[in-house]
Amino acid sequence: MYRSPAPARPELPAPLAPQAPLPHRKTIRSWLVPIAQRSTLRACVLLAFDLVLFAALVVGTVLMPAWWLQLACALAAGFVVGRLFVIGHDACHQSLTPHRRLNRWLGRIAFLPSLTAYSLWDMGHNVVHHGFTNLKGVDFVWAPATQAEYRAMPPLRRLCERIYRSGWGPGLYYMVEIWWKKMMFPRRSGMGNSYRPVFTRDCLLVTGFAALWIAALVAAALATDQAVWLVLLLGFGVPMVFWFHMMGFVIYGHHTHVKVKWHDDKAAWQRAQPFVSTTVHLTFPLQIGALIHHIMEHTAHHVDMSIPLYKLKEAQAVLEQLLPERIIVQRFSWRWYFATARACKLYDFSRQCWTDFQGRPTLEMA
């Protein structure tokens, strides 16, 4: 059967001079339109592969002959939970396949191992975080406190802030501040008019999945004559703890950098065109970025949420070619990561810079 040829991609403009005004977001998105082509088959294959891999690794936490092999399966299962979450994240953005209803179902399925309520993530992430990225008072994801706010905190809350911003606490931050407080049966009183019954249904869905997961592990422990507590620890506890730390680390790396700006004035925030200036492209060796479905090509994702995960690398390359010196690109190293954690404690909105807990401004790092 005759197939019409794919439409030719429009010619891209010349790279923008570093001091030239940034084009409107619609213009920048137009550069990426030819890339944002979604494939139902590719999406379903990716999801099916990761679901099978996750199930196999959970089984491995029970059946592997040595404890260290069981632990390796548990850690790998946590990593695959992260991969599945990225697929669900795409589906929630309606960028995984061209079909809205299918995306909603695939997203809910992909979110199950991370115990993420689809509709609550949709509201908190798509509407709030993407709609108001790095606008203090609206965007709540890793929003920095000012020195005055920090001093006014009760002692326990100040301790939590120090742990969260220490470099060792991203997993605890995500588990407590995002997942527990906002993704698991959040209080209706705190949601105002934004509460919808689907939030409760989705929370019940992931709770039911967790119950089935735990019940299956208990049955497997009894069938194989293993200690129930150990099977639950390796088959459920370790993967979830790994996932929380992975997710906390990823979103911290996306939006925390000495060059990343936060705003507390909406007009100034709008003038800054934050879809480019508030995200970081972290690069890794050994194709680690590909192993987590290119979620670290984050500038392209914030510019155009319709770009599927399997096209983000190409879209990010286009943006970095056409917007030189505008996009924060950071090669990851543990030295850089902990230097950032030391530098980015609080934020001074009057001086537009990060500070330490004493209010001293930090210097940009190479």
Q: What is the per-residue pLDDT for 3?
A: 44
pTM of this structure: 0.92
Q: What is the per-residue pLDDT for 191?
A: 73
Residue at 265 is within a domain: yes
Please tell me the distance from the alpha carbon of residue 173 to that of residue 246, in angstroms, as a whole number: 11
72-87: burial string, b at 16+ Cβ within 10 Å, e else: bbbbbbbbbbbbbbbb
Contacts of residue 299, Cβ cutoff 8 Å, sequence gap at least 6: 276, 279, 280, 281, 316, 319, 320, 327, 328
Res 65 pLDDT > 60: yes
Residue at 160 is within a domain: yes
E strand or H helix that includes residue 355: strand 353-355
Res 120 pLDDT > 90: yes
Res 229 pLDDT > 80: yes
Q: Which domain holds residue 129?
A: 37-355
Residue at 333 is within a domain: yes
Q: What is the per-residue pLDDT for 4?
A: 44
Q: What is the per-residue pLDDT for 366?
A: 38
Q: What is the per-residue pLDDT for 28?
A: 87
Q: What is the mean pLDDT of the chain?
A: 91
Per the structure block, which two tokens stand in for 56? 């196999």
What percent of the chain lies above the pLDDT cut of 70? 96
Higher-confidence residue of 341 and 5: namely 341
Assess contact for 99 and 91: CB atoms under 8 A.
no
Domains held by the chain: number: 1
Residue 146 has φ and ψ, to the nearest 5°, of -85, 170
Per the structure block, which two tokens stand in for 6? 């794919």
Res 46 pLDDT > 70: yes
Q: How many CB atoms lie within 10 A of CB 27?
A: 10
- Nearest alpha-carbon partner for 264 in 154, 149, 137: 137
Q: What is the per-residue pLDDT for 363?
A: 67
Higher-confidence residue of 154 and 194: namely 154
3-state secondary structure of 331: strand
Residue at 17 is within a domain: no
Mean pLDDT of 247-253: 95
Per the structure block, which two tokens stand in for 182? 């906002």
Residue 283 has φ and ψ, to the nearest 5°, of -110, 145
Residue 33 has φ and ψ, to the nearest 5°, of -55, -45
- Nearest alpha-carbon partner for 344 in 161, 118, 202: 161
Q: What is the per-residue pLDDT for 15?
A: 86
Residue at 31 is within a domain: no
pLDDT in tens, 278-302: 889 999 988 888 899 999 998 999 9
Residue at 7 is within a domain: no
Residue at 9 is within a domain: no
Mean pLDDT of 178-204: 87
Q: What is the per-residue pLDDT for 19?
A: 82
Residue at 8 is within a domain: no
